[in-house]
Amino acid sequence: MNDKYLSVSVINRYIKHVIDTDANLQKVFIKGEISNFKAHSTGHLYFSIKDETSKINAIMFNGNARKLNFNPTDGTKVLITGRISVYEATGNYQIYVDEMIEDGVGNLYIAFEKLKKQLAAEGLFDSKYKKSIPKYPTKIGVVTANTGAAIKDILSTIKRRFPIGQVILFPSLVQGDNAAKDIVKNIKLANTYDLDVLIVGRGGGSIEDLWPFNEEIVARAIFDSKIPIISAVGHEVDFTIADFVADLRAPTPTGAAEMAVPNLVDLNKYIEQLKIRLSSDIIKKVNIQKLNLDSLRNSYILKNPSILFENKKQNLDLINNKINELLLKKIELKKLYLDSLKNSYVLKNPNMLFENKKQNLILLTKELNKNINLKIDNNVTKLNTIIEKLELINPLNVMKRGFSLTYKDDKLIKSVKKIKKDDELNIKFNDGNILVNVKEINNEI
């Protein structure tokens, strides 16, 4: 009976065989835009090719990838030659790229990357500026077109999840040349309302359709908003500048509505759980208090309250006794000290203090005089010794023994070489001096 059921492998193998034998799929020519690009360490390239409404997975093995003359990145528009086949393990069909050439990078993508880099450098994407989304909002604002799938999805999702929430729509252009200005105007208008959260977005489309949400004025309006903003632009694979600036990014408008409001069913379940927990906690608390009350009722102290006072009275008596003992000891010590003062020898004979001081003064005076005389004697002895030494070298004493000093022009002559014939010399003796005139000079002694 089970023979008619096929395994997944058999089905995938059959589909792969059908596609691989289709001549129209063995060489296809596709143009589109690269997204989700990833270069594997093996050299293989994995990415998707997309246009305004669809996308297809692609793989380019390293042998063909080495032939590329450009660096493929997300947003690069390319022309591809390859074949369509199925990856049997997952059942996914994809294009195996043989050749790929650049079809020119779109101006919009270049502008997108330039603005993204600029605003990132200014800090508009920093997490520190992100405002938290309230858990239980009462007023939810929506900036989007008043027609189309986006607003319908948002309204139906909020009504289903959180019907008590009030939704205020700010109808806005979301496509075309004037859309960016209109989005900015409505974001500013929404900030004049008492809103808890604001959803800004639209449904899917091409990069041109989504471009108003890549405009700098929209990014700055989102950043300046006092109300937390959830961006909901396009599909999950679409990213805009608004997504990076917003406080929270949703993959779709429906996802934004789910992020903006809680699920009332879950809230009711949570409240019921809280009620159960609260009732349980109250019962536990009451039981504990009952036990405490019973414990107090059966307390020995409450049954015999006088014991408290008896203990206190006994403690008071002990303290009084200690205080009395300390006071008596203190008084006794003071009495002993007073008696010692009364019996003091000095108090009985006060003149003895002065007699002792007088005797000490006399002894000190004698000692001082003795030291002064000794010092004088020592100095006299030293002086006499110095005088004797001076006498020995005194030139006058030498002259007494017959020596004399000869001067020329008031200068002492120490050598006969300093004297010339007819010089006038002054010769000093011990008892006087004479003036002489040189007649002859003899250098021999």
At residue 173, the pLDDT reads 95
Cα radius of gyration rounded to whole Å, the chain:
60
Residue 116 corresponds to which tokens in the numbers above?
């993204």
Query: CA of 67: how far to CAs of 42, 62, 64, in Å?
Result: 15, 9, 5
Q: What is the pLDDT along the chain (445 residues), one digit of tens a residue?
A: 567 788 898 888 888 888 888 889 999 999 999 999 999 999 999 999 998 889 999 999 999 999 887 788 888 888 899 999 998 888 889 999 999 887 754 567 778 889 999 999 999 999 999 999 999 999 999 999 999 889 999 999 999 999 999 999 999 999 988 999 999 999 999 999 999 999 999 988 877 789 999 999 999 999 999 999 999 998 877 789 999 999 999 999 999 999 999 988 888 888 888 888 998 899 899 889 888 887 777 776 666 666 666 677 778 878 888 998 898 899 888 888 887 777 766 666 666 667 777 888 888 888 888 898 888 888 888 888 888 787 777 666 666 677 788 888 888 888 888 788 888 888 888 788 888 888 888 776 6
At residue 387, the pLDDT reads 80
Closest CA to 247 of 217, 224, 263: 224
At residue 292, the pLDDT reads 85
At residue 353, the pLDDT reads 65
Compute the C-alpha angle 187/190/195, nearest 5°.
Answer: 130
Query: If you count them, how many residues does the chain have?
Result: 445
Distance between CA 235 and CA 256 in Å, rounded? 11
Structural domains of the chain, ranges and CATH numbers in brackets: 4-105 (2.40.50.140), 110-262 (3.40.50.261), 399-437 (no CATH)
Residue 404 per-residue DSSP state? -
Distance between CA 92 and CA 254 in Å, rounded? 27
Residue 113 corresponds to which tokens in the numbers above?
């990357």
180 with 212: CB under 8 angstroms?
A: yes
Contacts of 203 (CB under 8 A, 6+ apart): 148, 149, 150, 234, 253
The β-bridge relationship of strands 197-202 and 139-144 is: parallel
Closest CA to 268 of 349, 166, 161, 356: 161
Distance between CA 423 and CA 146 in Å, rounded? 142
Strands, E assignment, 176-286: 197-202, 229-233, 248-249
Closest CA to 47 of 16, 87, 75: 75
